[in-house]
């Protein structure tokens, strides 16, 4: 019996929690459907592996900084998406992330399912006049055309409910799913070079994810600099890649000096590692091996939806310390969404520790782990 075709749509499948969840969903659905993945562009380096039977199509790799160019690219992508919907006779399109969600909602698909992965109102990338229009005009108007809206948690659901154009029966909460056995198995794989010995002889703190502004890693570097003054046997390992890498390297070198910073591509024997303080190990398809054996996993994001890596650190058995940002960390660590009044930090729970939330405008010096 022939499988039905289904399209999964996302801007890219490079790095990030949304991309990882997207690929996991595509691979899971490929058992029962002919999955066609559509992306805005196919990167030179794909961050996650799609099953070999999954087809992948590029809609339009062109991007622009001006409004006219953006409209042209959007129309080109929409035309291409509609072409694939027609040619494959697809009824259902599932999309991840804002740009892809807009395309899906305006497409000719009969069943449009969009997935919202993070807080809308706390996302520091949605700012200024354009950000205001996106939050209070474009999203309420365009998202109302979706047949189903999937959100990661109750906090995001409340944000969507505030958009009066969207009926509440369209919105469903479906948390991320995890292959706990697979994660635990991968976490036991050997670390490269001299890192195994480094973990045995030092106290390691780890952060992992895209090197992006909203991940707050600039805060983490400054905090670790102050922490290091009285905790010399600790080292910080940052797993991931992204647009902020050069900026974060500069900050780390400013605080610790170039000699104490290690980055991907340098010698990784133990003698080359043992005197370093901060390590940028780059993107790794298996971040779990870095988290396993560390003293704590640190999350300093300014906003999150359902941070995969926080759950994954818990699955590995590593203690977690997280900024109490909207909306995911509190739900994951406490099982609750609403913050109590008059909080005193740190808040210590069986599943982890919550610290004050960060804002892009915060002075860094008064934030402590």
pLDDT of residue 365: 52
Domain 4-173 and domain 181-366 have a common topology: yes
pLDDT of residue 359: 73
Cα–Cα distance measured from residue 196 to residue 278, given in angstroms and rounded to the nearest whole number: 16
Over residues 29-44, the pLDDT tens digits come to: 999 999 999 999 987 7
Do 100 and 284 touch, CB atoms closer than 8 A? no
Q: Give Cα 365 distance to the centre of its chain.
A: 26
pLDDT of residue 368: 46
Q: Which helix (H) or strand (E) holds 80?
A: helix 67-87
State which fold the 4-173 domain adopts.
Rossmann fold (3.40.50)
Cα–Cα distance measured from residue 329 to residue 215, given in angstroms and rounded to the nearest whole number: 13
Q: Please list the ranges in the chain whose pLDDT falls under 70.
A: 45, 360-369
Over residues 8-33, the pLDDT tens digits come to: 999 999 878 888 899 999 999 999 99
Over residues 240-285, the pLDDT tens digits come to: 999 999 999 999 999 999 999 999 999 999 999 999 999 999 999 8
Do 124 and 35 touch, CB atoms closer than 8 A? no
Q: 327: which residues sit within 8 A by CB, 6+ positions away?
A: 119, 122, 153, 154, 155, 156, 303, 304, 305, 337
Domains of the chain by residue range: 4-173, 181-366
State which fold the 181-366 domain adopts.
Rossmann fold (3.40.50)
CA dihedral 357, 361, 365, 367 (to 10 degrees): 0
Three-state secondary structure call for residue 16? coil
Residue whose C-alpha is closest to residue 36's, from 76, 7, 10: 7
Cα–Cα distance measured from residue 131 to residue 35, given in angstroms and rounded to the nearest whole number: 33
pLDDT of residue 280: 99
352-355 and 347-349: which strand pairing? antiparallel
111-116 and 92-96: which strand pairing? parallel
Query: Whose structure tokens read 């909203």?
Result: 214
CA dihedral 107, 112, 118, 123 (to 10 degrees): 30
Cα–Cα distance measured from residue 57 to residue 13, given in angstroms and rounded to the nearest whole number: 12
Do 109 and 145 touch, CB atoms closer than 8 A? no
pLDDT of residue 363: 59
Do 74 and 106 touch, CB atoms closer than 8 A? no
């Amino acid at each position: 019996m022939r499988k039905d075709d289904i399209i999964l749509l996302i801007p890219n499948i490079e790095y990030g929690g949304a991309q990882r969840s997207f690929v996991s969903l595509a691979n899971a659905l490929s058992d029962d459907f002919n999955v066609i993945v559509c992306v805005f562009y196919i990167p030179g380096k794909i961050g996650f592996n799609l099953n070999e039977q999954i087809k992948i199509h590029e809609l339009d790799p062109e991007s622009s900084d001006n409004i006219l160019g953006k409209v042209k690219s959007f129309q080109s992508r929409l035309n291409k998406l509609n072409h694939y919907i027609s040619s494959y006779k697809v009824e259902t399109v599932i999309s991840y992330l804002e740009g892809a969600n807009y395309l899906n909602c305006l497409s000719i698909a009969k069943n449009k399912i969009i997935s919202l992965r993070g807080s809308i109102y706390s996302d520091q990338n949605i700012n200024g006049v354009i950000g205001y229009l996106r939050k209070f005009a474009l999203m309420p108007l365009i998202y109302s055309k979706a047949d189903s809206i999937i959100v990661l948690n109750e906090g995001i659901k409340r944000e969507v409910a505030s958009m009066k154009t969207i009926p509440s029966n369209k919105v469903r909460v479906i948390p991320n799913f995890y292959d706990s056995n697979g994660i635990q198995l991968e976490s036991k794989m050997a670390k490269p070079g001299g890192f195994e010995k480094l973990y045995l002889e030092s106290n390691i703190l780890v952060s992992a994810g895209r090197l992006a502004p909203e991940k707050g890693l600039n805060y983490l570097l400054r905090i670790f600099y102050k922490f290091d003054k009285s905790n010399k046997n600790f080292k910080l390992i940052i797993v991931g890649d992204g647009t902020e890498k050069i900026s974060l390297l500069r900050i780390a070198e400013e605080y610790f000096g170039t000699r104490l910073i290690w980055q991907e591509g340098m010698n990784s024997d133990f003698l080359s590692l043992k005197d370093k303080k901060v390590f940028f190990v780059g993107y790794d398809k298996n971040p779990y091996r870095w988290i396993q054996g560390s003293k704590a996993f640190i999350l300093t994001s300014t906003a999150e939806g359902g941070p995969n890596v926080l759950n994954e650190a818990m699955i590995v058995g590593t203690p977690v310390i997280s900024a109490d940002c909207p909306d995911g960390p509190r739900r994951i660590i406490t099982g609750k969404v609403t913050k109590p009044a008059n909080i005193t930090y740190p808040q210590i729970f069986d599943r982890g520790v919550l610290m004050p939330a960060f804002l892009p405008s915060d002075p860094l010096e008064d934030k402590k782990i």
